[in-house]
Structure 1
């Protein structure tokens, strides 16, 4: 039996962060991994999906060139070459992660799948046992495969499978209007794959503001067939085809695809851990409650970090989770609370969908007295220059103080707008201070300024907004 101060289960983004933080407090530590090294982000998440999206953007740029008077031949998309680059670059990113893991003291690494045999006792499938004074669980997440798709058999795939393709298929039915579904559906569509995106319940990515959600649905729907609240009667399989029967415009239709991509979310990877043996109180999902300020469960010696903690399934959040969990596991029982960063989420569709700070739903449910400023990008100067004049940005500010609270958007180059707003929210900036900041001309950020001016009026700070033409000339 190996006895340590801290055992970390999982060597992904959260686990590695936990290891580095805990290592500052103790040398009696072990990092346990039962699968291949390399994070979810590097292997099947952030990086390979963005590589696919980058290829799709290149194809779209050729398609759109005629709108600028630049006439090019229709692009020839070689699916094998597209996926070859995705896999090569993916392997490169994974290699960096593996190098980092291999740089860890070999005596601190254990290979094998761990499960609890008691509050402090872990057994690996290799037969080894570890007794740990504190434990960090950082096992990540797994794709959800709804039972409703069982009839599809091996024609059912998840996002992990897509990013391992060696070529592009002819047609894919994508189920799920969340981040994964939106990004993959649009990318595949722009790469010449026939795609139909089926949503459920009207959701569009992480958006909760009805106006922004409607604008996002319209923007994506103008690019490919997308129903945020699809009425699907039946999903079957005939030979090597997936047959989907659904209602569109009051008519029942049937369409055939090569694959059904279930982009219906990811769930905490808890199977095999036997958390019941840990002594923790578990909910109906088999998961414990975790304090996001400490990543501690029930005030005890077991901590959770990353996707398994079921908070916000994003890499930067997982890294923060790991840092907090590892630090507290290392210093236990002198646990410290940590301030969380302002929430920031980006969907790499075109236009980008993004959220920063508090969401519309959170502010509404919390009975916060807030006002909303907005800008429609249809006539925004720089957006029209780029022929990307589509989208809606809404910013929320607190009445009385004018403090910026959050924003939701579907906007050209929204990834940059969201960062600016997240930074402004985290620093406690108010709308008038934000308007004193420099805005270059002509840039997309002038649209942000328009929304801030609208918010200032709604908060009663100004009598009226300047004319819309202010984004098209100097003198702002």
Structure 2
């Protein structure tokens, strides 16, 4: 008889979700974690970054209060207090992910590094554990690129940047994706000089260029230097504890700190996957669309470390939760399950936020949708945005010619809060008329979504034929 019904490697977002569900079903669950409970999201990612951004946004609001007729002195940044706020946010959420909670749910939490020794066995802390089913949820780590000179200078990742006891004098960020841009704005608003180096022609290279341009203007207006299409040739020490980034064009950027934000790498090392016959790629554990290993039918993968065939990995906490639901359906109940990212949201949590659900215009065309409807509604036409003095932004919808929503892009304050509305539309394949006819409270930014959807029907409603029909009907008794 196996020691456990379900063995889970990794107590991050995905592993904890599976463990909680399986344990509450009364199954014998072993949860292996060598580091901090809660994984990257709680300790190094979503929670601390959003806490830091919250402090930074308050500082910026104080600077901008004059436009509302409120005179305030320039904000004074107490770095120690900002750090205390970040640590406090982590501490308040930590009990939800704690050993005590999961032991109370019935899981056995084993604080040791785990690796496979057989297709149905794991070794941890010099002890062997057998299982009926296993879930690999070991997550991912910050990617460290092979940059000449990197070994000679100190550098930061998302796992260390929140531990700085003093604010950076000049933070150089390598990578202009979500993490890089969020940390750039956070530190700039907290009084640091910031330079972002992005090798691609544009920051946020995956996002819709039309909306990226608006975000770019905001970041530049706040003093963030953006070096786009810039290849980094090497880094080297400069002065007392400083460093310099030397670009391919010969320019030299001198800073005090370097933050690497160029992506994630799956935590495969140390798992000894061959011992269990588990196939892996450079991107993670190879699975089918039910997240089951393609080579060991006892094993599933979830979260950043999963590499589902045809879809690839996604390093988002909400994807980890989605994966946990798929695993529960497939592994625990033997029900059909199939991962689908058609309505998957992603958000760059800057201010304004850039949210994307489904396909961008470029992605839709690349997917073979030659004929598209493009609907736009600028925030300058949204009463709530105007009232709050934030009229810069855009809602952009990508539809089929028949009015089915394929994707939505939003640049707006709290744009991520609209993502659920678009996700429901795409995921449930609701007609665009459902959004256009929705009654929303006034005034809200979400009205921009409704008004953009209404643009699909407006030309038909105001066509000459409809005008003639209205003229005829009004004459009837």
* 1:39-78 paired onto structure 2 within 5 Å: 39-78=39-78
Residues 296, 20 of structure 1: alpha-carbon distance in 2 compared, 3 angstrom cutoff:
farther
For the 8 Å contact 1:43–1:91, the answer to whether it is kept is no
CA positional deviation for 1:81: 1.2
Instruction: Please give the per-residue CA displacement for 1:401-457, whole angstroms capped at 9, x wherever unaligned.
Output: x12221122223312222222222223222222111124443323332332233445
Aligned partner of 1:307 in structure 2 is: 304
Instruction: Please give the per-residue CA displacement for 1:254-281, whole angstroms capped at 9, x wherever unaligned.
Output: 3321110001111111110011222133
CA positional deviation for 1:359: 3.4
CA positional deviation for 1:53: 0.4
Aligned partner of 2:288 in structure 1 is: 291
Aligned partner of 1:197 in structure 2 is: 196
SS at 1:300's partner residue? coil
* 1:230-241 paired onto structure 2 within 5 Å: 230-238=230-238, 239-241=240-242
Aligned partner of 1:278 in structure 2 is: 276
Aligned partner of 1:393 in structure 2 is: 395
CA positional deviation for 1:47: 1.1
For the 8 Å contact 2:103–2:109, the answer to whether it is kept is no
Structure 1 moving runs of 4+ over 6 Å: none
Aligned partner of 2:114 in structure 1 is: 114
* 1:86-125 paired onto structure 2 within 5 Å: 86-98=86-98, 99-105=100-106, 108-124=108-124
Residues 112, 377 of structure 1: alpha-carbon distance in 2 compared, 3 angstrom cutoff:
same
Unaligned runs of 5+ in 2: 308-312, 465-477
* 1:285-434 paired onto structure 2 within 5 Å: 285=282, 287-298=284-295, 300-310=297-307, 311-331=313-333, 334-338=334-338, 340=340, 342-368=343-369, 369-378=371-380, 380-400=382-402, 402-434=403-435
Paired with 1:339 and 1:462, the residues of 2 have a C-alpha distance of 41
Paired with 1:371 and 1:462, the residues of 2 have a C-alpha distance of 18
For the 8 Å contact 1:65–1:71, the answer to whether it is kept is yes
Aligned residue-pair number: 454
Paired with 1:339 and 1:270, the residues of 2 have a C-alpha distance of 22
Aligned partner of 1:471 in structure 2 is: none
CA positional deviation for 1:340: 4.7
Paired with 1:86 and 1:23, the residues of 2 have a C-alpha distance of 31
Instruction: Please give the per-residue CA displacement for 1:331-388, whole angstroms capped at 9, x wherever unaligned.
Output: 4xx3531565731112210110101123334422221243111123345433233222
Aligned partner of 1:470 in structure 2 is: none
Unaligned runs of 5+ in 1: 465-476
For the 8 Å contact 2:379–2:393, the answer to whether it is kept is yes
Aligned partner of 2:255 in structure 1 is: 257
Paired with 2:254 and 2:397, the residues of 1 have a C-alpha distance of 42
RMSD between aligned residues: 2.6
CA positional deviation for 1:152: 5.6
CA positional deviation for 1:461: 6.9
Residues 95, 393 of structure 1: alpha-carbon distance in 2 compared, 3 angstrom cutoff:
same
Residues 161, 382 of structure 1: alpha-carbon distance in 2 compared, 3 angstrom cutoff:
same
Aligned partner of 2:132 in structure 1 is: 133
Residues 461, 225 of structure 1: alpha-carbon distance in 2 compared, 3 angstrom cutoff:
farther
Using the TM superposition, name which of 88-97 and 135-144 deviates more: 88-97
Using the TM superposition, name which of 131-140 and 379-388 deviates more: 379-388
For the 8 Å contact 2:152–2:236, the answer to whether it is kept is no
TM-score, reference length from structure 1 = 0.87
Aligned partner of 2:181 in structure 1 is: 182
Aligned partner of 1:437 in structure 2 is: 438
SS at 1:147's partner residue? coil
Paired with 2:247 and 2:186, the residues of 1 have a C-alpha distance of 23
Higher relative contact order, structure no. (Cα contacts within 8 Å, ≥ 6 residues apart) = 1
For the 8 Å contact 2:117–2:123, the answer to whether it is kept is yes
SS at 2:286's partner residue? coil
SS at 1:406's partner residue? strand
TM-score, reference length from structure 2 = 0.87
